[in-house]
Structure 1
Amino acid sequence: MSTTYARLKRLDARLERPILWTFLGAAILVAVINLTLGLVHLITGLTSDRIPLSLLIDAPLPAEADAGTAQLVEGTFSSASVLISGLSSLPIFLWALSNVVAMVTTALICAAVAHLCWKLLRRRAFDQSVSWMATSVGAVLVLGSTLGGALGGFGLMVASTELDTVSPGGFWPLGFQVDPTPVLVGFVILLVAMVFEVGNRLQRDTEGLV
């Protein structure tokens, strides 16, 4: 039993550093890809005057939607992905700003993961900078998601109004969908940051006793 445990422990020690290096490299790669694709998406929309948006819609399904043996009892479209040209400066600015906030938020999360992996590789998981980084990322994720969602949502409402100036809120309802997941993740990261801070204090207290 002890021999098997010792072998598993040695295997875990051998795999630990390669796994951490893999996560570190993956975090950097995701950050680079996210920033590159985000900038391409942003520049393409701004230069071509074709802004991609996802608008709310409340429209019935067409008759051919249940042409088979089963029958639809009830159903509507809830959103539509559209390309819009001729928008005013305000919705375009809000769309661009919400995209920038999303890119920066993702890049900061990737930077935090890479920083944590680097500290684990150096056997300094409870370093002060780790708790600072986690706290900053959690706060940025909560604030960035809230701000980005609000700006993007307001931009969608303005775009809906400009698409239907005769009867605003008719075909395109004035509203937007909110995903609370990023905010919840941000609070979880803040909780983890508190754990790292407690661990850092315990480590300092232990070193002071030795």
Structure 2
Amino acid sequence: MTSTKQGTLSRGDAGALIAFCIAGVAIAAYIIVFSIIRIITLVSGTMIPVMVEFVDQPIEAPLGANGESITLELDRASLTVPSLPPVAIGAGVLGQITQIVTIVVVIGCLMLLARGILSGTVFSRRNTALVMVAGIVGLVGFAAVRFFENMVANAAVSAVTDNALNNAVMSIEPFTFILAAFIISVIGTAFVIGDRLQRETEGLV
């Protein structure tokens, strides 16, 4: 058995949660529109802009005092390629679909969580499940999006350089991934403990 009411929110707290829900809807709408536009651009098959990351790639640029060239290390650039192979286009489309699904699930879970809190329920098994689903889906989903984007970027470099430049970068930062997983675990654990303490306090266990 789980407690359903744990107090009444102040107007300020309720207003902040409502603003959070509105911002969540706006963010989800923006990302969905951006992803749809990106899918249309990829499927068109011509003049596709791609963000590419490099590892220690030196370039010469005329930035010296007298116009002489100096050597720079290029780590990121935007390329516009005339066309991409079907595999790369498919990967790009899958990446955008994954991004749409991920953001809808994450924002949806957080909005349901906010709705539960607005009704007076903070710690419950339902809210704990919502937090964990949002965290896990976000973690895995955005890592998958990054993976697909890297596939498109590598294909773009190969197409532009005719395979003369090896740019196989799979840049899913391990530290960022581990840190995000740790934060999600801490938040999930806090909700689990809060739910248990709430039920114990009210004599439900």
- TM superposition score normalised by structure 1: 0.77
Q: Which amino acid aligns with 2:153?
A: L
- Aligned-pair distance for 1:123? 1.0
Cα distance in 1 for partners of 2:163, 2:145 equals 29
Q: Residues 154 and 108 from structure 1, CA distance in 2 versus in 1: closer, same or farther, beyond 3 angstroms?
A: same
Work out whether residues 34 and 107 of structure 1, in 8 Å CA contact, stay in contact via their aligned partners in 2: no
Q: 1:194 to 1:55 in 2, by over 3 A?
A: same
Matched, 1:21 2:15: no
Of 38, 41, 44, which aligns to 1:44? 41
For 1:29 and 1:43, locate their aligned partners in 2 and report how far apart those are by CA, in whole Å: 21
2:188 to 182, 190, 193: 193
| Residues paired across the two proteins, number | 194
Question: 5+ residue gaps in structure 2?
Answer: 1-8
Looking at structure 2, the residues matched to 83 and 73 of structure 1 have their Cα atoms a distance apart, in angstroms, of 25
Larger % of helix: which? 1
Instruction: Say which one has the larger Rg.
Output: 1
Shift of 1:82: 1.3
Q: Which residue number corresponds to residue 5 of structure 2?
A: none
2:198 matched residue in structure 1: 203
Q: Which runs of 5+ in 1 are unaligned?
A: 1-11
1:144–1:40 Cα change, 3 Å: same
Aligned-residue Cα RMSD (Å) equals 2.9
Q: Compute the TM-score of the two structures, normalised by the length of structure 2.
A: 0.79
Helix, strand or coil: the match of 1:167?
coil
Decide whether aligned partners of structure 1 residues 56 and 17 sit closer, same or farther in structure 2, where only a CA change above 3 A counts: closer
Asked whether the 8 Å contact 2:139–2:181 carries over to 1, the reply is: yes
Change in CA separation of 1:25 and 1:131 when aligned onto 2, cut-off 3 Å: same
- In 2, the alpha carbon distance for the partners of 1:149 and 1:98 equals 8
1:1-210 map, 5 Å: 13-47=10-44, 49-57=46-54, 58-63=57-62, 65-67=63-65, 74-165=71-162, 167-169=164-166, 173-179=167-173, 181=176, 184-208=179-203
